[in-house]
Structure 1
Amino acid sequence: MSGRSKITLDESELPRRWYNVIPDLPAPPPPPLHPATRQPIGPDDLAPLFPMELIRQEMSGERYIEIPDEVRDVYRLWRPTPLFRARRLERALRTPARIYYKYEGGSPAGSHKPNTAVPQAFYNAAEGTRRLTTETGAGQWGSALAFACAQYGIDCEAWMVRASYDQKPHRRTLMHVWGATVHPSPSAVTAAGAKILADHPDSPGSLGIAISEAVEVAAENPDTKYALGSVLNHVLLHQTVIGEEALAQFDAAGERLPDMIIGCTGGGSNFAGLVFPFLREKLAGRTDPVFRAVEPAACPSFTRGRYGYDHGDTAGFTPLMKMHTLGHDFIPDPVHAGGLRYHGMSPLLSHMYELGMFEAVTKNQLECFASAVTFARAEGILPAPEPAHAIAAVIDEARHCTETGEEKVLLTALCGHGHFDMTAYERYLSGEMGDFELPQDRIDTALAGLPDIG
């Protein structure tokens, strides 16, 4: 192993295909259901919200899907992204583990989200869409879609979860720079938002509410479609450029493939994008890593939710999806990891979790920020609060290796920088930040509203 700290690929090595994990699974995931008929949905049911090419990808049984040249041309603005060996963090922890992180913070929007925003905007533009609506939590997805829409001349309208709208004003500004319209959610401009405000005027919002608002506007306007930043199959598909590049970078570094791969999970796209290509290698018998998902203790859909059919949004506009869920009425506490404050989880990842293909743990907010500060002081990059959850789990595993003497190879995705999260870091450093305890009765109340589907 050389002494390299940064492993890069040439632009010519940019992946040419996205990887679809579904054909390689031992059983297919359960189908989404129409919210009215409760029968499996077809392409026509999704056509009011999505362009046909994305619907095809959502339902595809093909193992690989070609990346259009027009998308790869935009990807080249920041891809391939670097793989770093965290040597300074290893020294700070005095661990024999070898820690690697795939850094996605160098994209125009500062996160992994443009990996799917760009193809979504491209396919919509190709089919004549004039406006895209969307939800955004911490603002990474909203800013990514605003950037992507600007590349293809499409209007962008985003509903930003109120807690993050107030906590992260500079994310709103970035969206405005790229030409987007941004509303706090819940808002008075939609029926779904107005109903929430009437019942809960001080609602901090949630991704489920914001999705309802964006879907409502898209469904009512024929020139408008909806774009989702996580959860759905085609979104996870687009993110596999992360893991495909990482595989090539481990080979270029002369390093063995990881013993453990750790990623944060909210809707699941970052975790899937890193893990799925390595899972393909595991299923082929070429490697045998442990995959560990890390979610916030304040919004633990994997570890404390129920696996069942539920709506992807609060108002019940979306198809019913079989997923790990806390209930579509669940409103998470306003933790600073706004991108992880979602009541559900990717149906595909939920299915794979039920198959025992990876494990899941939770982390509290204070531990995540402490780990992020440790990482920043060693490696120089300030993580966003979302990947700080994965970093906390990586540090745990590295310290375990210190105790056992194991020289494990650990990999995570640092899916975004924290430059827009200074208020959160200021609150942590000043001692003003707290943790949120999630009592079981809040989960039970929300789960009581799940649709009764066997």
Structure 2
Amino acid sequence: MSRTEPPTRWRSVLPHLDEQPPPDLTPPTAGGGSVQVNLPMQLVRQSVQQKEYWDIPAEVVDAYRAFRPTPLWRARGFERAVGARVPVYVKYEGGNISGSHKLNTALAQAYYYARAGVRELVSGTGAGQWGTALAAACAMFGMKCTIFMVGNSLRRKPYRGTLMRTLGATVHASPSTLTDVARRSEAGVNSLSLAIGEAVEYAARTEGAAFCIGSGETYSILHQSVIGLEAADQLAGLDAEIDAVVGCVGAGSNFGGIALPFFSAAATVGTRPPLLVAAESSTTPKLTRGTYAYDHTDATGTGPMEAMYTIGSAYPIPDSHSAGLRFHGAAKVLSAMRHRDQIEATAVGQVEALEAGRLFTRGEMVLPAPESGHALAAAARLAGSGAEGNNGPLRAEKGVVVCVSGHGYLDLGAYQQLLDGELSDEAPDAQALRLAMGDLQRVDRLAEAGSGHER
């Protein structure tokens, strides 16, 4: 790949997994049938086929050229600020209209849906990056766009809504007055799961519309592989050695995008991959405190159930500024890899995350999103005294590459609270976690019962 051109192929991790993720479970509907998810066939193929490289459509490559390749540099100022023992390299995805990595898959999905005849795309968004990315992609491919954004997040960041509307999208605060799922929700509930549930319901009843998702699906993670492919090439150009790769995790597209190409490259030549460390919010600790079970991806309770690390789709997630990480479950590909100890996870509180973001801003003159601050905090741990992972302490000995998934220029309210000493962390309630996970079908128990889903 030329260092002045974006990749022309995505790279899938599926051919390199010893076991594929367990199949989805489709629950029955009231009429006795099942919910059908209408995906363009190419997205279906990208989710299941054991094909390593996928050609990126020429129209999508042309769109990528406006902002890719994205920059990678050694963050020496940040290293000094956090007392790093080893180099820390940063892959920055915030330099596009959406302000985040989300545009990589939004452009691809809008392209495929438009070719399939869909006229309107509908989705839910937490922090707003995905909603902005989808609005931009729909504008580029001549489609309507409707977004349900987590209400607390939209109130904190009203200009996210303004930007989406400037791009032609219709934006609703979730919970809204438009859907049955919102009317049935508990008072005061604000979650990405609910926003997604509203979008699913709205799309199902709107002619010419389709629901699309920006993070947890296998095809979305495939599209994000451009991040890791570029990063590996750029690190090689710098003769840089790294033994740890870090990204923040909501459902997983950012972490999957930066990390999985390194896993695939190592599997191809039979070497040990770097530490692949997912940094999650301590308010939503699915990979560090969750269970590997079948759960819903949204709040409707009607869509397919996926095998995921989850704290339960019914769990009332504590509020935080990292709305993009406030999703109850992790992508099924990442969950399967976590189950086999192929990736690690560590939880970070929002105070530590925003403090890492503040130090990064002063050292590197780039303001990261609160979500990205979680990855920077984890990278600082790995490059310093170490981090706590799934199976014990984690420590980088050569170098760390971390994905700064987006900018924080619409998150200055969070930094203001940090500077004023008003920011705090709300720990998940242990009893509520147990209740939310208690009735879920654990994957290992299904295996013991002879379901064919083996650990």
TM (norm. structure 2) is 0.91
The residue aligned with 1:114 is: 103
The yes-or-no answer on 1:270 pairing with 2:246 is: no
Give, as a single letter, the amino acid of the residue that structure 2 aligns with 1:302. Answer: L
The yes-or-no answer on 1:282 pairing with 2:282 is: no
**CA-atom RMSD in angstroms:** 2.0
- Give runs of aligned pairs for residues 433-448 of structure 1, distance below 5 A: 433-448=423-438
8 Å CA contact 2:120–2:146 kept in 1: the answer is: yes
The residue aligned with 1:105 is: 94
The residue aligned with 2:228 is: 243
Q: Measure how far apart 1:338 and its partner are.
A: 0.3
1:45 partner SS: coil
The percent of aligned pairs where both chains have the same amino acid is 42
CA distance in 2: counterparts of 1:366 and 1:88, whole angstroms: 20
The residue aligned with 1:140 is: 129
The residue aligned with 2:350 is: 365
8 Å CA contact 2:244–2:396 kept in 1: the answer is: no
CA distance in 1: counterparts of 2:206 and 2:82, whole angstroms: 54
The residue aligned with 2:3 is: 9
CA distance in 1: counterparts of 2:415 and 2:66, whole angstroms: 29
The residue aligned with 1:428 is: 418
Q: Measure how far apart 1:363 and its partner are.
A: 0.8
Distance 1:235 1:34, change over 3 A: same
Q: Measure how far apart 1:286 and its partner are.
A: 4.6
CA distance in 2: counterparts of 1:229 and 1:95, whole angstroms: 33
Name whichever of 282-291 and 233-242 sits farther off.
282-291
| Misfit runs of 4+, over 4 Å | none
CA distance in 1: counterparts of 2:58 and 2:285, whole angstroms: 39
Give, as a single letter, the amino acid of the residue that structure 1 aligns with 2:415. Answer: Y
Superposed CA deviations along residues 116-138 of structure 1, whole A, max 9, x for unmatched, are: 00010011111111100000000
Unpaired segments ≥5 residues, structure 1: 1-7
Superposed CA deviations along residues 104-126 of structure 1, whole A, max 9, x for unmatched, are: 01022110000000010011111
2:383 partner SS: helix
Residue 19 of structure 1, aligned match among 1, 11, 31: 11
CA distance in 1: counterparts of 2:432 and 2:374, whole angstroms: 23
The residue aligned with 1:229 is: 214
The residue aligned with 1:260 is: 244
CA distance in 1: counterparts of 2:154 and 2:251, whole angstroms: 19
Q: Measure how far apart 1:94 and its partner are.
A: 4.2
Distance 1:407 1:452, change over 3 A: closer
Distance 1:92 1:428, change over 3 A: closer
CA distance in 2: counterparts of 1:176 and 1:263, whole angstroms: 29
- Give runs of aligned pairs for residues 22-421 of structure 1, distance below 5 A: 22-36=14-28, 45-47=36-38, 50-196=39-185, 199-200=186-187, 202-203=188-189, 205-256=190-241, 258-283=242-267, 284-286=269-271, 288-400=273-385, 408-421=398-411
Q: Measure how far apart 1:451 and its partner are.
A: 5.4
CA distance in 2: counterparts of 1:392 and 1:373, whole angstroms: 11
CA distance in 1: counterparts of 2:426 and 2:233, whole angstroms: 40
CA distance in 2: counterparts of 1:210 and 1:337, whole angstroms: 15
Distance 1:63 1:406, change over 3 A: closer
Unpaired segments ≥5 residues, structure 2: 387-394, 447-455
CA distance in 1: counterparts of 2:104 and 2:20, whole angstroms: 25
CA distance in 2: counterparts of 1:89 and 1:450, whole angstroms: 42
1:246 partner SS: helix
CA distance in 2: counterparts of 1:424 and 1:379, whole angstroms: 19
